[in-house]
Every structure is written in structure tokens, then in C-alpha cells.
């Protein structure tokens, strides 16, 4: 992508309304623009990150055996009356009336709708188990939308739903999502720790929040340090096999959010040197709630004895748009973002220090073509801006590698390669730089 074609409205000044790094950087780097309280337009740079996160989430859901679908954003109030949540949900729900006077709402979540969908299509225990998911925008009229995409009103969520015949099978589905989440966040470069959590308005008794540690997080969390080093399930994990040992391994150590925290138990079960009391960002939340929706909404299947029983259900959310902010909180410095390769908007930036100079242009164009041909996503700064401005902009948007080429380099036959994560620089021959960078990108994207 040529920067002259792209739309990258970077800001020089720090926006005063932004209190945390990710919010500031997303605005400054031209990733998004606020269009209302807690409502954001995703500009091209931010949208690329959002799509990559979404794709990792999708791949790991698919690997775990979940099946993708898409439900609408707008729902009918009557559906929510069946579960009893229409009144219970309160002011967080955005209520709408259509031209016929029918009460509608912008979905804050989809338990009711998915229950309605499966009760129409599932008849027998033989139709179970099933795991369905979608990645769709939600609206919650949060009291205090803040911190940019971290707590928005309109936000993108992956929500999956499990359907099982009995409690035991339901817990197996829960374990699949538990294991899938460990992989999902790790692939993005994040350590998300599953913590005992309250079930809140979704209901049920088995629930974990997946939390990444960050000083700017909204929840106070308490956990055993050893959880951070715990290896996550490998690519070849059999998701149809028994995953209980994986779940047991993670839940054996203390980890709880403040609502569920028990200080006495924490002190008793975790040695002092292993205790972490920190702040965290909730990036995922899983629940097993049995028949909470299937019973009132009469989503039943016949067992082998022919008797109807309500389906056992769970729901499993990932904050896809929140993760963009969460990743920046985890990976940035004073100059800007420092994207991990798996989610970066482009793998590399190519900086032409003297656009308009025939020889420099020619060298850059050649490397640009080579990189694109090798499948490297490259943002080519072909603008006439001054070098200082170009360097600052590249650091701000935080691509993992910067390839810098100017008239002096062309003369000596070298490009300068800078690694954004630690600022390390090296000179690489112009005719070798594209293959060198493409190998670095390829290696960084291998994930087992
Ligand atoms: P929180 O209390 O952290 O706002 P929640 O418990 O209300 O979240 P869930 O219903 O569990 O949210 O939703 C699943 C996931 O969706 C959360 O783990 C979070 O990552 C994301 N999420 C929830 N609310 C928002 C929001 N207002 N803005 C962005 N992401 C959100
Ligand atoms: Mg939650």
C-alpha cells in the first residue's frame, strides 16, 4: 500500500480527552475517530488490526469445532420478554420503535435469539452437541463509555453458544471454549489469565473471565504468578478429546477478580512471592448456565426415552474491538504502538527519504514490488514529507519493521532496517532486504 493512496490522518497533538495510552495512540495514529460517546468509526489503519484480531478469533473458534453464522443487530423486544430479561436489562439496552410501533432493540448480546433459533431446529438428543458463534456489533448504553474502544457503547464481540443434552456434555463444551481462548489470546501475543468470575445478568454457576494484566485495566485482580508461565494448548490439541486436564491445570492456581476475591484463601493457597495483586482488562468471558434460557423459552429436545428436556447451554464472549486497545496497552512506548506481527496493520514500513529523487525512487519501487510479491504487507511512505516527520509517523503507527532508504544508502547499496520492538538497527544490502524481511515476517507468524 502506498501512503499517498492510503488514508492516515495522524495527529501531532495529544488529544486531551484521552486518559489512557491506547485511546491516545488510536486517535493520534489515525486508527479511529469518535463519532459519538462510545461510538467510533474504524479508519483504514485501525480496521486492518480489527480484521486480524477477528480472524485469529475465528480460526481458533473453528479449530475448537464451533460453527460460524451471523445474527442481526436488531432484535424484537418480545423475544426478551420470553426470557424475562426485557425489563431486567435496564438502561443499558438501546430500545427502538419501528414504524409499526413494534418494540425493537439493538442487541447487547444474543442468548435469546440463538435460543429461539435452535428451538426451531433441534428435536432430539441426536442433534446435540452443537457450538455456534458469530462476530457481530453489539450496543450497550454504558453509563460511562470511556477509554476509547475499551469501553464503548457500540463494540464488536465474538459470541459463541453451546448446546448439549446433559450437564456433563455441557461442561465439555465449556472446556473447549476455555482451551480455545487460551490459544486465541496467546496467538496475539497476550497472556490472558482465566479467573473465577461472577456470572452477572447472564446467569449460571460456572464462569471464567479472561484477563490481561495492565495498569490501566478496570478490574482489580488477584492471581498466582505461575499462571503467567503456564503453557497453553498446542495446535494439534484434540478438541473432541478430554480437555478437563487443561482446565484443571489452570484452575488449580488461585485467580479471581475483585468481586470473587477471597483474601484469606489467597494468602493461604499462594506463597507470598507468587502473589500478584494487579489490575486487568477483561478480554473474554465464558459462562455455562444450563437451562436458564432454554427452560423459559422452551428450547427442548427429546431424550432416548422420548421425553423432552430443556437444552443445556453456555455462552462465550470475546471483546474483539476492546482487544485492539488492550493490545496497545500491552505493546507501546512513548513514541507509539509496537505491534506484534500477528495483529500489526502492516508487517513492514518502507520509508523513502527523498521521494522525487530518481535513484531513490527506483530503489524503493523495486523493494516495494519484491516485498508485495513475497506476500509481505508493506506500507510504502512515498510522500514528500521531511525525514523527521516520516520517522515519527512510522514509530507512531508501530509496524514491526521499518526499511529506510535514502540517497546515501542507494550510493552505498544499503537499506537501514529498524526493528520497532527494541529500536535495533542494521544495514542490509538493497538487493537482499526484501527476502530478509520476508523471512523475518514468516518466522514471526509461525504459531503452534
Ligand atoms: P465489562 O464488565 O468488562 O464491560 P461485561 O462483563 O459486561 O464486560 P460480557 O457480557 O461478558 O461483558 O461481554 C463479553 C466481552 O465483550 C467482555 O469480556 C469484553 O471483552 C467485551 N465487552 C463488554 N462490554 C464492552 C464494551 N462496553 N466495550 C467493549 N467491549 C466490551
Ligand atoms: Mg463479562
**Residue 384: CATH number of its domain:** 3.40.50.800
Alpha carbon of 291 to ligand 1 centroid (Å): 23
- Please tell me the distance from the alpha carbon of residue 196 to that of residue 206, in angstroms, as a whole number: 8
Claim to verify: residue 372 and residue 413 sit in the same structural domain? yes
- Please tell me the distance from the alpha carbon of residue 218 to that of residue 210, in angstroms, as a whole number: 13
- Please tell me the distance from the alpha carbon of residue 70 to that of residue 55, in angstroms, as a whole number: 15
Which residue range is the domain that position 206 belongs to? 21-337
Claim to verify: residue 434 and residue 297 sit in the same structural domain? no
Alpha carbon of 4 to ligand 1 centroid (Å): 37
Helix axes of 44-63 and 167-187: crossing angle, nearest 10 degrees: 140
- Continuous H helices in 253-386: 263-269, 320-330, 358-373
Strand partners, 130: 163
Assess if residue 333 is contained within a domain: yes
Q: How far is CA 386 from CA 248, 353, 393, 416, in A?
A: 56, 7, 11, 17
* SS3 (DSSP) at 156: strand
Assess if residue 14 is contained within a domain: no
Assess if residue 156 is contained within a domain: yes
Claim to verify: residue 411 and residue 300 sit in the same structural domain? no
Claim to verify: residue 233 and residue 317 sit in the same structural domain? yes
* Boundary (domain end) residue, out of 318, 337, 356: 337
Terminal CA-CA length for the chain: 29
Alpha carbon of 250 to ligand 1 centroid (Å): 22
- Please tell me the distance from the alpha carbon of residue 25 to that of residue 382, in angstroms, as a whole number: 23
Alpha carbon of 50 to ligand 1 centroid (Å): 16
Residue of minimum CA distance from atom 15 in ligand 1: 319
Residue of minimum CA distance from atom 23 in ligand 1: 319
Q: Does any ligand 1 atom lie closer than 6 A to the CB of residue 281? A: no
pTM score of the predicted model: 0.97
User: What pLDDT is attached to residue 448?
Assistant: 79
Q: Does any ligand 1 atom lie closer than 6 A to the CB of residue 155? A: yes
- Please tell me the distance from the alpha carbon of residue 200 to that of residue 378, in angstroms, as a whole number: 44
User: What pLDDT is attached to residue 279?
Assistant: 96
* Boundary (domain end) residue, out of 310, 337, 364: 337
Q: Does any ligand 1 atom lie closer than 6 A to the CB of residue 372? A: no
- Please tell me the distance from the alpha carbon of residue 45 to that of residue 116, in angstroms, as a whole number: 38
Claim to verify: residue 264 and residue 303 sit in the same structural domain? yes
Sign for the pseudo-dihedral over CA of 9, 149, 349, 351 = positive
CA atoms within 13 A on the CB side of 14: 11
pLDDT (tens digit, 0 to 9) for every residue of the chain, 448 residues total? 999 999 999 998 888 889 999 999 999 999 999 999 999 999 999 999 999 999 999 999 999 999 999 999 999 999 999 999 999 999 999 999 999 999 999 999 999 999 999 999 999 999 999 999 999 999 999 999 999 999 999 999 999 999 999 999 999 999 999 999 999 999 999 999 999 887 766 556 689 999 999 999 988 999 999 999 999 999 999 999 999 999 999 999 999 999 899 999 999 999 999 999 999 999 999 999 999 999 999 999 999 999 999 999 999 999 999 999 999 999 999 999 999 999 999 999 999 999 999 999 999 999 999 999 999 999 999 999 999 999 999 999 999 999 999 999 999 999 999 999 999 999 999 999 999 999 999 999 998 7
Claim to verify: residue 321 and residue 230 sit in the same structural domain? yes
User: What pLDDT is attached to residue 157?
Assistant: 98
Assess if residue 238 is contained within a domain: yes
Q: Does any ligand 1 atom lie closer than 6 A to the CB of residue 317? A: yes
Instruction: Please state the domain count of the chain.
Output: 2
CATH number at residue 107: 3.30.930.10
Residue of minimum CA distance from atom 25 in ligand 1: 151
Assess if residue 276 is contained within a domain: yes
User: What pLDDT is attached to residue 447?
Assistant: 85
Claim to verify: residue 293 and residue 361 sit in the same structural domain? no
Ligand 1 atom nearest to CA at 218: 3
* Boundary (domain end) residue, out of 315, 337, 359: 337
Amino acid at each position: 500500500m502506498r501512503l499517498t493512496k492510503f488514508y492516515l490522518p495522524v495527529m501531532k497533538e495529544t488529544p486531551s480527552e484521552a486518559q489512557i495510552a491506547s485511546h491516545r495512540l488510536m486517535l493520534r495514529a489515525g486508527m479511529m475517530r469518535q463519532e459519538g460517546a462510545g461510538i467510533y468509526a474504524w479508519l483504514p489503519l485501525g480496521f486492518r488490526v480489527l480484521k486480524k484480531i477477528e480472524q485469529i478469533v475465528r480460526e481458533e473458534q473453528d479449530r475448537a469445532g464451533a460453527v460460524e453464522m451471523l445474527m442481526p443487530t436488531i432484535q424484537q423486544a418480545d423475544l426478551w420478554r420470553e426470557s424475562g430479561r426485557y425489563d431486567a436489562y435496564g438502561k443499558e439496552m438501546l430500545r427502538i420503535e419501528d414504524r409499526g410501533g413494534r418494540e425493537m432493540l439493538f442487541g447487547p448480546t444474543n442468548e435469546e435469539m440463538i435460543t429461539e433459533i435452535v428451538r426451531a431446529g433441534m428435536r432430539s438428543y441426536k442433534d446435540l452437541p452443537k457450538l455456534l458463534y458469530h462476530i457481530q456489533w453489539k450496543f450497550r448504553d454504558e453509563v460511562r463509555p470511556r477509554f476509547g474502544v475499551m469501553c464503548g457503547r457500540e463494540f464488536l464481540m465474538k459470541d459463541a453458544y453451546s448446546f448439549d443434552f446433559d450437564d456433563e456434555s455441557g461442561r465439555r463444551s465449556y472446556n473447549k471454549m476455555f482451551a480455545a481462548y487460551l490459544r486465541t489470546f496467546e496467538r496475539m501475543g497476550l497472556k490472558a489469565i482465566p479467573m473465577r468470575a461472577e456470572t452477572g445478568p447472564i446467569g449460571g454457576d460456572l464462569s471464567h473471565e479472561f484477563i490481561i494484566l495492565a495498569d490501566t485495566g478496570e478490574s482489580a485482580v488477584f492471581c498466582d504468578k505461575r499462571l503467567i508461565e503456564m503453557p497453553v494448548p498446542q495446535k494439534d490439541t484434540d478438541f473432541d478429546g478430554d480437555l478437563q486436564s487443561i482446565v484443571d491445570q489452570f484452575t488449580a492456581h488461585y485467580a479471581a477478580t475483585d468481586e470473587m476475591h477471597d483474601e484469606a484463601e489467597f494468602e493461604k493457597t499462594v506463597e507470598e512471592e507468587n502473589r500478584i495483586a494487579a489490575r486487568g482488562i477483561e478480554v473474554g468471558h465464558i459462562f455455562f448456565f444450563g437451562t436458564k434460557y432454554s427452560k423459559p423459552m422452551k428450547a427442548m429436545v427429546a431424550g432416548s426415552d422420548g421425553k423432552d428436556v430443556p437444552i443445556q447451554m453456555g455462552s462465550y464472549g470475546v471483546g474483539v474491538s476492546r482487544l485492539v486497545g488492550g493490545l496497545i496497552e500491552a505493546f507501546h512506548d512513548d513514541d507509539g504502538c509496537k505491534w506484534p506481527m500477528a495483529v500489526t496493520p502492516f508487517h513492514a514500513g518502507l520509508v523513502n527519504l527523498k521521494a522525487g529523487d530518481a535513484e531513490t525512487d527506483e530503489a524503493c519501487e523495486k523493494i516495494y514490488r519484491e516485498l508485495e510479491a513475497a506476500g509481505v504487507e508493506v506500507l510504502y511512505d512515498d510522500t514528500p514529507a521531511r525525514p523527521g516527520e516520516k520517522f515519527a509517523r512510522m514509530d507512531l503507527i508501530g509496524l514491526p519493521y521499518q526499511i529506510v532508504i535514502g540517497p546515501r544508502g542507494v550510493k552505498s547499496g544499503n537499506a537501514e532496517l529498524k526493528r520497532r520492538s527494541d529500536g535495533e538497527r542494521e544495514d542490509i544490502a538493497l538487493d537482499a532486504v526484501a527476502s530478509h524481511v520476508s523471512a523475518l515476517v514468516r518466522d514471526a507468524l509461525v504459531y503452534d
